[in-house]
């Protein structure tokens, strides 16, 4: 088993165990919506965890009534509001469409560079989650990461020094990866990226554009 497969299996195991940050869980759910290949593996992990839980003695919840009273007494503004239902025939994976409540064409995209647009999905659990729209054939600036980046391909595809990724694939990057993703020719590439830590541009062109990529 290569290192990338081990990373991916660990990601799926963290998803089943409930230990992933919220944006990473959303990315895995979206991956499973797009790619059926790993659904059986996840079901097997869930079944194994369920069998283990059946062997654990239940622990009573302390202050149950007080906890419920506090939840229902909270002001409506402090409660989590569900996003509006997504449009029919959405181009996004179901989990991501449910979270955002809009389709790709209806999002308020922000131009970061010529040929690169971003829609910020969420900032939570110490992670940043964004959709990226990259023009077909465009090369991103060479960069590495202060932390970890997970990238799910929603449409199109891209290549970097680590491999070729198409719809439903997940790419991993961290501070040991210095890469230059290039979108495939013929179709714009749309990705859902979850990052923990900041991006660090390493190439000369990338360093020139760095001020325009912040924020």
Q: DSSP string covering 7-69, please?
A: HHHHHHHHHHHT-S-HHHHHHHHHHHHH-GGGHHHHHHHHHHHHHHHHTSPP-PPTTHHHHHH
| Runs of H (alpha helix) within the chain | 3-17, 22-34, 39-54, 64-73, 94-100, 204-213
- pLDDT tens digits, one per residue of 69-80: 665 666 654 444
Q: Decide which of 215 and 155 is more confident.
A: 155
Of the candidates 118, 120, 91, the residue with the CA atom closest to the CA atom of residue 104: 91
Do residues 199 and 128 make contact, with C-beta atoms less than 8 angstroms apart? no
- pLDDT tens digits, one per residue of 103-112: 999 999 999 8
DSSP state of 88: T
Alpha-carbon Rg for the chain, nearest whole angstrom, is 19
Distance CA 156, CA 190 (A): 7
Residue in the block written with tokens 């830590």: 197
For residue 54, the model assigns a pLDDT of 43
**Other C-beta atoms lying within 10 Å of the C-beta of residue 115:** 16
Looking at the structure of the chain, the number of domains it has is: 1
For residue 45, the model assigns a pLDDT of 81
The overall pTM is greater than 0.85: no
Distance CA 61, CA 45 (A): 26
Mean pLDDT of the chain: 77
CATH number of the domain that 46 lies in?
2.60.120.10
Distance CA 176, CA 55 (A): 41
- pLDDT tens digits, one per residue of 10-67: 888 889 888 999 999 999 999 999 988 888 888 888 787 654 444 545 445 566 566 5
Domain boundaries, position 209: 1-215
């Amino acid at each position: 088993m290569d290192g990338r497969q081990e990373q991916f299996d660990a990601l799926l195991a963290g998803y089943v165990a409930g230990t992933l940050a919220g944006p990473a869980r959303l990315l895995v759910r979206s991956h499973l919506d797009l790619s059926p290949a790993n659904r059986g593996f996840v079901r097997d992990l869930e079944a194994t965890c369920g069998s283990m839980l059946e062997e654990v003695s239940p622990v009573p919840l302390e202050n149950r009534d007080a906890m419920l009273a506090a939840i229902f007494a909270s002001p409506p503004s402090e409660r989590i509001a569900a996003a509006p239902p997504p449009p029919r025939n959405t181009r996004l994976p179901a989990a991501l469409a449910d979270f955002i409540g809009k389709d790709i064409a209806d999002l308020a995209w922000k131009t970061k560079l010529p040929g690169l647009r971003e829609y910020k999905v969420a900032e939570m659990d110490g992670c940043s989650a964004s959709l990226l729209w990259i023009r077909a054939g465009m090369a991103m600036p060479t960069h590495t990461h202060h932390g970890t980046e997970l990238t799910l391909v929603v449409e199109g595809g891209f290549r970097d020094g680590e491999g070729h990724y198409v719809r439903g694939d997940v790419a991993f990057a961290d501070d040991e990866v210095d890469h230059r993703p290039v979108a495939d020719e013929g179709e714009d590439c749309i990705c859902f990226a979850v990052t923990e830590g900041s991006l660090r541009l390493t190439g000369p062109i990338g360093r020139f554009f760095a001020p325009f990529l912040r924020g």
